[in-house]
Structure 1
Amino acid sequence: MDFAERYGPWAVVAGASEGTGREFAKQIAAQGVSCILIARREGPLAELAEEIRQTGVDCVTASVDLTKPDAVDRISEAVGSREVGLYVNNAGADANGSRFLDKDVQAWVDLAQRNVMTTLKCCHHFGGPMRQRQRGGLLLVNSGACYGGGSFMATYSASKAFDLNFAEGLWAELRGYGVDVLSLVLGQTDTPAYRALLAEKGQALPTNWASPVDVARVGLAQLPHGPIYNWGQTNDVAGWAPSSPDTRRARILMIDQHSRSTFGD
């Protein structure tokens, strides 16, 4: 199957208003897949949707705050009866740049709600029909923070570690049903949100960060080869991660085999 057959006819891109989310939407549309764009800000979504429609591809938008408990209900309403073959979870950055105890706890609750509960609910909502149709894809944009905690990253690292293990488990469950799952683990990436955080902290811009165009291109290419891709590294190399994606994949398959022998297929 080509891209549109495998992941169409509609894709949902959460966090589509700027940066990598915007590029994911444009590159998915370029493959002939219609897009449902989700983010808080209506203006950038409307602008991007019009740009995509100019290429002859259908596109709709929905202004949804992904930190709210009703986010998935609102996304579901926007999707309606459309058949979604690809879900891209691109929303998940940490704009706080703060130690855990120096910030009001609600900021961390909102971050965890968006990165954990909204992600979990969306994957359940869209993954079920994909499994039934035996085709589709779930692409969770992740961060190298998933591999360990640190100052200023306690909640963020924890939420991204959940996303990593969640994607690995979903990949193990869905690989026999034709549904691809990928945790796309990024390093420093040139996005407006990251630029704003660096400017707030008085930090210089990196010289070797990834571009949103490349992130979307590589992420979509790696989607059939999950469950993990570490940015800038081949899948047989650990590099800056504790272990390589190939090593983790073998471990997941071992755990999966044990789980199946315990709980059944």
Structure 2
Amino acid sequence: MDDLQFKSRYGPWALIAGASEGTGAAFARHLAGKGLNLILVARREGPLDALAQELRAANDVECVTASIDLARDDAAQRLLAAAGGREVGLLILNAGSDPNGALFLDNDLADWDALAMRNVMTVMRAVHAFAAPMRDRRRGGLMLVGSGACYGGLPGIGVYAATKAFGLVLGEALWAELEPHGVDVLSLVLGRTDTPAHRGLMEARGMAIPDGLADAGDVARLGLERLPFGPVCNWGEADDEAGMSASSAAQRRERIRRIASISAAYSAKG
């Protein structure tokens, strides 16, 4: 779709959580270029303010910022407050990298609690809050930015992988529930992407930065292109290609369609 169609379908405002750098900032630049106004959310005010100033100068859009720690229990309420009654047609939940780099029992439980709050409870609450008006308007989009870790437990990032599995499954279910109401849902599953957070974690572990990392701008562009074609897009794989998991995005889509039709049939019988 062209930029006018995109803005009509997902505008006038987009809220991006985790917008200060990396893929979040890339999403913001792409969306500003399409003419959407932006609500930029992250913990650090400085990078957010600098990005907002850049986008206002380069595009005829409005940008507001909010410093919010998504690991706090009141994060979803603060996201709603940041929106301030604006019509948010696109919600991108991009925050949630794992800063721990530790085996489960070698880390404080409080760190895992914070990761689970950010990637599970805040995601669930934010989607519930912002998707309801979209369903009423019969248009809009939700994007849950995930990781290939969602497809299996991995030592050293077990909690992170589990939280990303939650986002994947929730996104698939919401896609089936909201598709009849004109709301698009996509779980964008990333591979290894060149972001400051990823580089920082590898450097902290004394690991060299590998070649072939995905470019954040390319990742954001693909996510926005595939938003109407949920529920899953796996970075670096065609829709009918299985690599990260045993089933392709197309196979997952058809499986969910079958389950949804069976559920609808049972509901009709009741």
Normalising by the residue count of structure 1, what TM-score does the alignment of the two structures yield? 0.98
Partners in 1 of 2:266 and 2:54 — Cα distance?
A: 51
SS of 1:239's partner is coil
Select the residue among 189, 199, 204 that pairs with 2:203: 199
Identify which range, 240-249 or 180-189, moves more after superposition: 240-249
Partners in 2 of 1:127 and 1:80 — Cα distance?
A: 15
Select the residue among 70, 79, 103 that pairs with 1:99: 103
Q: Tell me the residue number matched to 2:163.
A: 159
Superposition pairs for residues 1-265 of structure 1, below 5 Å?
Answer: 2-54=5-57, 55-264=59-268
* Counterpart residue identity of residue 134, structure 1: R
The 3 A distance-change label for structure 1 pair 240 and 81 is: closer
- Structure 1 segments, 4+ long, off by >4 Å, are none
Give structure 2 stretches of 5+ with no counterpart.
Answer: none
Q: Quote the RMSD (CA, aligned, Å).
A: 1.1
Give structure 1 stretches of 5+ with no counterpart.
Answer: none
* Counterpart residue identity of residue 68, structure 1: R
Could you report, residue by residue, the CA deviation over 1:103-137 in whole angstroms, capped at 9, with x for unpaired residues? 00010000000000100111111100001101100
Partners in 1 of 2:76 and 2:25 — Cα distance?
A: 20
Partners in 1 of 2:150 and 2:266 — Cα distance?
A: 28
Partners in 2 of 1:132 and 1:138 — Cα distance?
A: 14
Could you report, residue by residue, the CA deviation over 1:166-215 in whole angstroms, capped at 9, with x for unpaired residues? 00000000111111100000110000010001001111112111011101
Could you report, residue by residue, the CA deviation over 1:200-244 in whole angstroms, capped at 9, with x for unpaired residues? 111111211101110110010010010000101101010232210
Partners in 1 of 2:246 and 2:128 — Cα distance?
A: 29
CA contact (8 A) 2:151 2:244 kept: no
Partners in 2 of 1:250 and 1:144 — Cα distance?
A: 20
Question: Percent identity over the alignment?
Answer: 54
* Counterpart residue identity of residue 248, structure 1: R
Partners in 2 of 1:73 and 1:117 — Cα distance?
A: 12
| Residue-pair matches, total | 265
Q: Cα offset for 1:262?
A: 2.8
Q: Cα offset for 1:263?
A: 3.4
Partners in 2 of 1:115 and 1:161 — Cα distance?
A: 10
Partners in 1 of 2:129 and 2:110 — Cα distance?
A: 26
Partners in 2 of 1:261 and 1:111 — Cα distance?
A: 38
Q: Cα offset for 1:255?
A: 1.1
Partners in 1 of 2:267 and 2:149 — Cα distance?
A: 32
SS of 1:2's partner is helix
Partners in 2 of 1:21 and 1:259 — Cα distance?
A: 36
SS of 2:214's partner is coil
Q: Cα offset for 1:92?
A: 1.2
